[in-house]
Structure 1
Amino acid sequence: MHKRILGLVAVAACLVVPAAAAVSLGDAAGSYTISPAASSIRFTVGKAGGGGFDGAFARFKGNIRIDNSDVERSRVNITIFPESVGTGQNRIDAFLRSDAVFDAANNPEIQFRSTSVNRTSATTAVIDGRLTARGKTFPEKFTAELDGLKSGTIKFHVTGKVLRSRYGMDVGTPLYSNVVDFDMTLTGRRG
């Protein structure tokens, strides 16, 4: 009877632990190309008194390399094409592409290059790097959580906050927040 109870407890414990917890960053070692079709880069800019707007970038590319012997030596490189910004509102999209914000005609790329990856648990890490937009480069920090690893495909949920004023995009402040909240799903394919 005692063995049966222990067996049921073990099965229940396995059901409670999320599937991603069984996979660690160390298990995910390798190089991956980010698949835009299976990924998303979304952002939110708040507004005083509530509201604001949400948007996303339709075009981006990048790669993730997870070091087999030392996760902290891993690398993330992402390039975003700001002309692909979309909010669902044509007037706001045109404004964001204009020289008042992204200046997409003269600055066709936004780049993030990691400088370090600091593991915070078996499935999470803080990624420090350098973000370049409108010809200005500053250190930024993002949090990544491993959401899955299956058949050569890896998936991360990445979040972070960026001050847009640092990059000369502070038009509309303080009515619109200076903080841009990023919420990304990055899916990479090994190879």
Structure 2
Amino acid sequence: MHARILGFAAFAACLAVPAAAAVALNDAAGSYTISPAGSSIRFTIGKAGGGGFDGAFARFKGTIRIDNGDVGRSKVDLTIYPESVGTGQSRIDAFLRSDAVFDAANSPEIQFRSTSVTRTGDTSALVTGRLTARGKTFAEKFTAELNGLKGGTIKFHVTGKVLRSRYGMDVGTPLYSNVVDFDMTLTGKRG
């Protein structure tokens, strides 16, 4: 479920650049491979009464294809490997990888495939797509903001919210929030 936010937002942001902006959309058009070295996929789950926990995924891959002729035909594909989840607390990490949450042994990938990209501003877009986790697939939406394009490298800030109960990961609710907040930086290399 974390993967969906990343891929959608990054793609949408790239498509949202207007011709009058410092970076023209036709300059951003093309295919990009998401680089883990310049990217991060972070999430937060709140707790009743305050607190909660933050985490991140260390392993993921994806592509962004920007169509400057028709932004809506642009595509984002993102795959996250849930066994790479980390919170800084080994007990929580093991629990998240277990069959109670991600079931990483039987569901080794979380996938997001965009179905539409809609420009929402000069440098922003809404990316809608299908998120698949633990064998369940639902439509999800992410907001993407273009943060730069230089030397064949593009950068997006992507945010979104996912209901973990939809994917059979609602253990601990209502003490822990059902809403997972995603905050991602996706950097793509043209090629």
Question: Please, what TM-score do these two structures have when normalized by structure 1?
Answer: 0.88
1:61 is matched with which residue?
61
Q: Check if 1:34 corresponds to 2:23.
A: no
What displacement does 1:171 show?
0.1
1:73 is matched with which residue?
73
Q: Distance in 2 between matches of 1:134 and 1:32?
A: 27
Q: Distance in 2 between matches of 1:75 and 1:144?
A: 13
What displacement does 1:26 show?
4.4
Q: Distance in 2 between matches of 1:25 and 1:172?
A: 44
1:99 is matched with which residue?
99
Q: Distance in 2 between matches of 1:81 and 1:108?
A: 6
> For the Cα contact (< 8 Å) 1:33–1:64, is it kept in 2?
yes
1:36-51 correspondence to structure 2 within 5 Å: 36-51=36-51
Any idea what the Cα deviations from partners look like across 1:79-119, whole Å, max 9, x if unmatched? 00000000000000000000000000000000000000000
> For the Cα contact (< 8 Å) 1:127–1:141, is it kept in 2?
yes
What displacement does 1:121 show?
1.4
> For the Cα contact (< 8 Å) 2:25–2:68, is it kept in 1?
no
Q: Distance in 2 between matches of 1:24 and 1:137?
A: 35
Q: Distance in 2 between matches of 1:24 and 1:41?
A: 27
What displacement does 1:25 show?
4.0
1:140 is matched with which residue?
140
Q: Distance in 2 between matches of 1:187 and 1:165?
A: 29
1:125 is matched with which residue?
125
Q: Distance in 2 between matches of 1:72 and 1:144?
A: 14
Would the alpha carbon gap of residues 153 and 67 (structure 1) be closer, same or farther in structure 2, given more than 3 Å must change?
same
Which residue type is aligned with residue 167 of structure 1?
Y
1:176 is matched with which residue?
176
SS in 1 for 2:101: coil
How many pairs were matched up?
Answer: 171
Any idea what the Cα deviations from partners look like across 1:23-66, whole Å, max 9, x if unmatched? 24443111000001110000000000000000000000000000
Runs of 4+ in 1 over 6 A off after TM superposition: none
1:108-119 correspondence to structure 2 within 5 Å: 108-119=108-119
Q: Distance in 1 between matches of 2:107 and 2:25?
A: 34
Q: Distance in 2 between matches of 1:26 and 1:164?
A: 37
Aligned-residue CA RMSD (Å): 0.9
SS in 2 for 1:65: strand
Gaps of 5+ in 2: 1-20
Q: Distance in 2 between matches of 1:79 and 1:99?
A: 19
Question: Please, what TM-score do these two structures have when normalized by structure 2?
Answer: 0.88
Q: Distance in 2 between matches of 1:45 and 1:190?
A: 33
